[in-house]
Amino acid sequence: MLSGAEDALAVVHEHILVCTACPLHVRRTQAVPGTGPATARIMAVGEGPGETEDRLGKPFVGAAGNVLTRLLGSIGLSRDDIYITNVVKCRPPGNRDPEPAEMESCSGFLDAQIEIIRPDVILILGRHALARLLPGAGGISGLHGRRVVRGERIYVPLYHPAAALYQASLMRTLEEDMLRVRQYLDEAETRRHDAQAATGSAAAPGRSQQEEPPARDQLDLF
């Protein structure tokens, strides 16, 4: 049986798969909703599916995905630990930048994914995700690796893994920033355990029992 969060996330995925709200749907092979557990404490948001992602229906499974997988491994995480998605869920033709109207069309989906999963830490991969999730916060070159706290959530802007494929020096920067991500996650984990101990609830990993995901009919997708 699916948990409340898994069920709610599956509903969002179903909506994404049949979405025709913006012109990107016309040339897609398939939409790419996201992968990973609804209980993930960490989430990564990229830009949009590339050619391999469009073909396979999964985010970050091409060359940039290999970099991401390796970076996660460097801090002891596997892809099963993280929910991965993109700002736009359909491939922009020729891998061009997503347009503002396309990002706007998809924004209800991303908001719903974040609201359902409620991760402790959101990795912002590249400048498009940064502009969407932390508008006006600054540029990626000034913010990368830093912790930006908004409400109950920690955002960590990072250079996009694909950038490291073209500019080798960025790989080192990404590796160093990932070590900081490990620290932020550990601190968030400690805070959650302390809060759960204070309220007497079980310190199980994932969503606490007080936090119910939005019900199906409360999902505000558009």
Q: Could you list the residues that contact ligand URA (CB under 6 A)?
A: 46-50, 53, 59-60, 62, 64-65, 86, 162
Question: Which residue number, 60 or 109, has a Cβ lying nearer to ligand URA?
Answer: 60
Q: Return the number of other C-beta atoms located less than 10 Å from residue 72's C-beta.
A: 21
Question: Which residue number, 15 or 89, has a Cβ lying nearer to ligand URA?
Answer: 89
Q: How far is the CB of 84 from ligand URA (least distance, A)?
A: 7
Question: Which residue number, 159 or 184, has a Cβ lying nearer to ligand URA?
Answer: 159
Question: Which residue number, 50 or 119, has a Cβ lying nearer to ligand URA?
Answer: 50
Name the closest residue to ligand URA (Cβ): 46
Q: How far is the CB of 218 from ligand URA (least distance, A)?
A: 28
Q: How far is the CB of 126 from ligand URA (least distance, A)?
A: 6
Distance of CA 70 to the CA centre of its chain: 17
How far apart are alpha carbons 90 and 102 in whole angstroms? Answer: 9
Q: How far is the CB of 88 from ligand URA (least distance, A)?
A: 9
How far apart are alpha carbons 69 and 51 in whole angstroms? Answer: 18
Question: Which residue number, 50 or 213, has a Cβ lying nearer to ligand URA?
Answer: 50
Show the tokens assigned to 219: 């999902």
How far apart are alpha carbons 168 and 11 in whole angstroms? Answer: 40
Show the tokens assigned to 103: 């990002």
3-state secondary structure 73-85: HHCCCCHHHEEEE
Q: How far is the CB of 169 from ligand URA (least distance, A)?
A: 20
Q: Which amino acid is at 201?
A: S
Of 207, 149, 135, 145, the C-alpha closest to 176 is 145
